[in-house]
């Protein structure tokens, strides 16, 4: 894992956007794995601005989202379909037919999940997976205890996740308790992963992911087994990393690196 600590959320988002742009400029038909949540909003805003300025082009890009709540129609303001269109897709030049988001309203979830996995393969696999991390250390909706080999499936959400997400709903009872999520095994097959985290409520999860043991209790720790993962943090999310100085030293020693 490569750990990059930026002073602010804005700087973190900008650094991650440059990374995405670099990949798209090298491979215009790249397959991107997308994440929802508060964390990637700055990154999506940066990418939309870069797209408007002609610095990045999404016209040949294919996307696969990590997850979706079960039971919310795509028009529900808290569905991840709605989130992605509002916060990203409608601001870039991606063809609608290139967008894949798990269905939260399928009649046969098992068949849908198999189709989703196959569709990723048909499109050549994910070149770059964007990720956030939950305060319980989850990636996508792979809650503690999820198999590190898990595939796309229906998952029951953990109470801390329901609590974290209840801020977006009128009350806690409205928060869905099931989701369709890519598995940890699905995510580990992406050629490159970019995980973003900001804020001090993520500091414990980040330190467990980066410096703790690989364990299904912190599914993000499985990224220690991935050969090309970059972790972009702001100062607060990096606050509990024991090797923090070393990560900065590594960044400073890269050829042409700006001094931090
Ligand atoms: P957040 O969610 O970006 O809203 O904090 C991250 C996650 O749960 O994966």
- Give the whole-angstrom CA distance, residue 188 versus residue 177: 25
Please list the pLDDT of the chain residue by residue as tens digits (260 residues): 999 999 999 999 999 999 999 999 999 999 999 999 999 999 999 999 999 999 999 999 999 999 999 999 999 999 999 999 999 999 999 999 999 999 999 999 999 999 999 999 999 999 999 999 999 999 999 999 999 999 999 999 999 889 988 988 998 889 999 999 999 999 999 999 999 999 999 999 999 999 999 999 999 999 999 999 999 999 999 999 999 999 999 999 988 777 66
Residue 229 to residue 179: CA distance in whole angstroms: 25
Q: In the CATH scheme, what architecture does the domain 2-253 have?
A: 3-Layer(aba) Sandwich (3.40)
pLDDT at 164: 84
Domain ranges of the chain: 2-253
Q: What are phi and psi of 11, to 5 degrees?
A: -65, -40
Copy the structure tokens of residue 194: 């970019």
Q: Closest Cα to atom 2, ligand 1: which residue?
A: 37
Active site residue 85: no
Based on the residue annotation, tell me whether 60 is a catalytic residue of this protein. no
pLDDT in the model for residue 161 = 87
Instruction: Answer yes or no: 57 catalytic.
Output: no
For ligand 1, whether the C-beta of 38 sits within 6 Å is yes
Q: Which atom of ligand 1 is nearest to the CA of 201?
A: 5
Q: Among 100, 138, 234, 235, which one carries the catalytic annotation?
A: 138
Contact 131, 139 (CB under 8 A): yes
Residue whose pair of structure tokens reads 């196959």 in the numeric block: 118
State the pLDDT at residue 160: 87
Marked catalytic residue, from 68, 117, 127, 143? 143
Spatial distance between the Cα atoms of 15 and 238, rounded to a whole number of angstroms? 16
pTM for this structure?
Answer: 0.96
The continuous run of DSSP H or E covering 120 comes out as: helix 109-122
Task: Compute the distance from residue 256 Cα to the ligand 1 centre, in Å.
Answer: 33
pLDDT at 260: 62
- What's the half-sphere exposure (Cβ side, CA atoms, 13 Å) at 40? 27
Cα→Cα distances 167→82, 143, 161, 163, 173, Å: 17, 19, 11, 8, 11
Distance 253 CA to ligand 1 centre (A): 31
134 Cβ closer than 6 Å to some ligand 1 atom: yes
Q: Which atom of ligand 1 is nearest to the CA of 202?
A: 5
Q: Which residues pair with 100 in a beta bridge?
A: 64
Q: Which atom of ligand 1 is nearest to the CA of 140?
A: 9
Nearest to 140 by CA among 126, 157, 122: 157
């Amino acid at each position: 894992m490569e750990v990059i600590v930026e002073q602010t959320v804005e700087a973190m988002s900008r650094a991650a956007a440059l990374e995405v742009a670099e990949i798209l400029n090298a491979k215009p038909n790249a397959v991107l794995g997308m994440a929802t949540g508060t964390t990637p909003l700055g990154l999506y805003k940066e990418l939309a601005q870069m797209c408007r300025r002609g610095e990045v082009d999404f016209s040949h890009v294919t996307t696969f989202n990590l997850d979706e709540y079960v039971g919310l129609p795509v028009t529900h303001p808290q569905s991840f379909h709605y989130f992605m269109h509002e916060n990203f897709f409608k601001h870039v030049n991606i063809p609608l037919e290139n967008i894949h988001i798990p269905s939260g309203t399928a009649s046969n979830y098992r068949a849908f999940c198999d189709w989703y996995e196959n569709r990723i393969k048909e499109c050549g696999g994910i070149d770059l997976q964007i990720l956030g991390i939950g305060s319980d250390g989850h990636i996508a909706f792979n809650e503690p205890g999820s198999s590190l080999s898990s595939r796309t499936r229906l998952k029951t959400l953990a109470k801390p996740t329901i609590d974290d997400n209840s801020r977006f709903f009128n009350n806690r009872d409205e928060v869905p308790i099931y989701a369709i999520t890519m598995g940890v095994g699905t995510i580990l097959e992406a050629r490159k992963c970019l995980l973003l985290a900001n804020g001090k409520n993520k500091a414990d999860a980040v330190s467990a992911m980066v410096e703790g043991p690989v364990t299904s209790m912190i599914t993000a720790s499985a990224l220690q087994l991935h050969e090309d993962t970059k972790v972009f943090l702001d100062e607060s999310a990096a606050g509990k990393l024991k090797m923090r100085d070393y990560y900065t030293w590594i960044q400073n020693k890269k050829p042409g690196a700006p001094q931090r």
